[in-house]
Structure 1
């Protein structure tokens, strides 16, 4: 009779040893070792598409015979598109085959980017950017999958790798997009983004595991459940509104920064030089793991308050930065740190305070991007009429609305991570 398998679940033959050998452990396949890095890189490339137009605004305006401030609203179109994509497509991850959904969205985004590169006017480009951004929700389909498949003791590390990829994509869009745009033109940047999106997206789709959708029923049942989930959770409502205020303040200043840096009334930089300013966004990569530890130790409420205080300090620094480069650099680091710390804390609330975390996460991310999109649109108009001071005023107003509208709402029952 054969001997029983060891308690580890590894077959006995695989663990047999003699005095000259050590236990044989099952090797990780080459495909499994590449799975997480592939998803992280795919997340970076797809997330970059949302911010692709912002550093290229001066080049786009010159090509269309306009002014950068007159086309600044293209940046907000991208954010509106992403918010719409989150609202309609992200909840489908529980109801359709994710492999097929990732492939379809990837091809849609790549096609829209190619169409954008071929456009001859602002409105046609806006339509292409809208479609490309709406299809760029692949990261929000991949994060839950990574969390499900990761070993319990490494789940945080795996999810953090994907989030790091997302913020790397945001930085790359501004830095590499601006450098490539200066060298080859903005249309080639769009074509390059289309090629990378198709390559990484389809490769990721092929690498995803075969799975059966977990939920049945109507495709958009998750969408119809959103209002009820938010209404039943005051903490989720606060997280949504506060992140909309924080993201709106960041977006107002960051999407119009290229105008300040490149226009003659500002710093008069080239598009490439202005793009290098995006390297200050690397502050986000350092802040994310620190913020996670602070949330675990002190609770989400204190982290959000500290983040809002940091963002509030960054607004007058940004205003001063209209004339003093050192202040602009300090403000850029501070606002990125505040944004990421707030995001980590608020998303913790969104994912842990309801019985429907996927639906709550959709509501949270949509609220944040909707707040950012509106702020970007208002900031573009403010820059046209009142210059950089008007943009800083919009950022300050968004912070005041995000915090003030939640502070006056009745207190919810206190939780360990509550606000």
Structure 2
């Protein structure tokens, strides 16, 4: 028994010793941290899911996203929503000034920064349309606009509000990427109609916000219009994410660095303006007609607020409804006239309408009463848009649309600034009739410009090849093909 106990104790001691040795050996082995999969952050998951493209929008071998009327309508809606962001502020400036405790003159800095940011964004963001794929670029800009707009809804400090206003204008340039895209995709026989529909969306975005914002601000707090606009912006983000096709990158060349390619594009924009007559003439026409339009709408407010009308802000805002009527008529005119005739013919009709309606208002204003400004509003708004649509459609047919659109929009922006400044100066010195004479003079200058060069002329001046009044679809298509070949050879 004792021998058994001693043997068992020795056995237990031996086992304990072995266990201790194993423990020592285990302790001697250095510990190794086994990496565990960490869950990605909420931001990373959001970015990953936002980059996911629905199957029906994906670019796949054998599938080409060509012209589609539904994309034109989506682009028109996107242009209206984005353009409206730049104009909600005007009717609410007095209420915003009271809310921030500042003067009206200081509050006027808000729309100036919005427009300034928009102009800078056009110059420096729109050329990215020739570097990156359009779907992720447009979605990024649309989401950025939504974020800055949310900041505008919440900002209680004037300095923060103005800073966000500048960045909102800077990223609200998606319409200027969609417009050349539609101009490129549309076939020659439908290009003018498609471009006019997107432009009509932009003009709707200019006209409606002033009316709606004026009505909402009159009965509710002024920030309500900003919250409503935020809801529209969120709807736009969802629609663009669901239905905007993933078009291939315009220039697939990967041999150049981003900075070199970007600055080459900026240089080519300037070079195109100096070497392509159709683009130079189109830009000059765009500058002149936008100067007339901006001058009219700027001075109209002072004219209606004074004698003999004495209109209030709401009644003045209702004049913007006339612009809605013209935006509906523009695509119809584009389909039946601009797509069939040379740009100078369609533009001449618009300029003649502008001259006649301005003359009737200025020289028979006492007889027509409020009918005079209504008639001139229709003539100016409808007439000047015809020239812009006609020359855009002609330029998109021959040149890289995105780069040409940057110059077009910049010229339109400068024309609006010049028209606003000159119109206010002329009105202060000579009244409404003198402003009308300024509009007639600029319209006549525009008409002289468009008749310096015929539609078949290859040089800067002349009418070689005849008037070429009616466009031939076959020739347009052939020209399109040769232009596309030149673009591809340039990329190679």
In structure 2, relative to structure 1, the CA distance for the partners of 1:413 and 1:185 (3 Å cut) is farther
* Number of the residue aligned with 2:388: 343
Match of 2:126 in 1: 90
* Count of residue pairs the alignment pairs up: 383
Do 2:358 and 2:379's aligned partners in 1 also have CA atoms closer than 8 Å?
Answer: no
Cα pair distance change 1:292/1:157, threshold 3 Å? closer
Q: Which residue of 1 aligns with 2:287?
A: 244
- In structure 1, runs of 5+ residues without a counterpart are 1-31
Higher relative contact order (CA 8 A, sep 6+): 1
Cα distance between partner residues in 2 of 1:264 and 1:116: 33
3-state SS of the aligned residue for 2:85? helix
Shift, 1:84, TM fit: 2.7
Does residue 403 of structure 2 align to residue 359 of structure 1? yes
Q: Distance between the aligned counterparts of 1:296 and 1:206, measured in 2?
A: 31
Other-structure match for 2:226 = 190
**Are positions 1:294 and 2:337 aligned together?**
yes
In structure 1, the residue matched to 2:370 is 325
Deviations 1:155-189, CA, capped at 9 Å, x for gaps:
66555543332332222222222222323244332
Match of 1:361, SS? helix
- Are residues 35 and 134 of structure 1, via their aligned partners in 2, closer, same or farther at CA, if it must alter by over 3 Å? same
Partner of 1:284: 327
CA distance in 2 between partners of 1:291 and 1:152 (Å): 12
> CA separation in 2, counterparts of 1:259 and 1:120?
30
1:246: how far off? 0.5
Q: Aligned partners of 2:437 and 2:192: how far apart in 1?
A: 37
Task: Give 1:110's aligned residue.
Answer: 146
* Cα distance change on mapping 1:391 and 1:150 into 2, 3 Å: closer
Task: Summarize the alignment of residues 224-243 of structure 1 with structure 2, pairs less than 5 Å apart.
Answer: 224-243=267-286
8 Å contact from structure 2 (residues 122, 410) kept in 1: yes
Q: Report deviation, 1:321.
A: 9.2
Name which one, 1 or 2, has greater alpha-carbon Rg: 2
Give runs of aligned pairs for residues 94-243 of structure 1, distance below 5 A: 94-116=130-152, 118=155, 127-146=163-182, 158-215=194-251, 216=253, 217=256, 218-243=261-286
Counterpart CA distance in 1 for 2:193 and 2:450 is 32
Higher mean C-alpha displacement, 391-400 vs 354-363 = 391-400
User: What is the CA-CA distance between 1:208 and the residue it aligns to?
Assistant: 2.0
TM-score by length of 2: 0.66
Q: 1:299 to 1:214 in 2, by over 3 A?
A: closer
Worse overlay, 153-162 or 354-363: 153-162
| 1:57-81: CA deviation from partner (whole Å, max 9, x where unpaired) | 555566666458x876765654444
Q: Are the counterparts in 1 of residues 196 and 389 from structure 2 also a CA contact under 8 Å?
A: no
The answer (yes or no) to whether the contact 2:285–2:388 under 8 Å persists in 1 is no
Shift of 1:266: 6.5
Cα pair 2:213 2:225 within 8 Å, conserved? yes
Q: Is the 8 A contact 2:193 2:335 kept in 1?
A: no
Q: CA separation in 2, counterparts of 1:157 and 1:241? A: 22
TM-score by length of 1: 0.75
Please give the alpha-carbon distance, in whole angstroms, between the structure 2 residues aligned to 1:221 and 1:101: 19
CA distance in 1, matches of 2:432, 2:222: 25
Contact 1:181/1:189, CA 8 A, preserved across alignment: yes
- Contact 1:175 1:278 (8 Å CA) reproduced: yes
- Secondary structure of the residue aligned to 2:319 is helix
Residue 51 of structure 1 aligns to a residue whose secondary structure is coil
Provide the C-alpha distance between the structure 1 equivalents of 2:426 and 2:334, rounded to a whole number of angstroms: 32
Classify 1:335/1:137 alpha carbon distance in 2 versus 1 (closer, same or farther; 3 Å): same
Query: Are residue 369 (structure 1) and residue 413 (structure 2) matched?
Result: yes
Deviations 1:323-375 (A, max 9, x none): 731101111111111022112222133223x4434322321222112211332
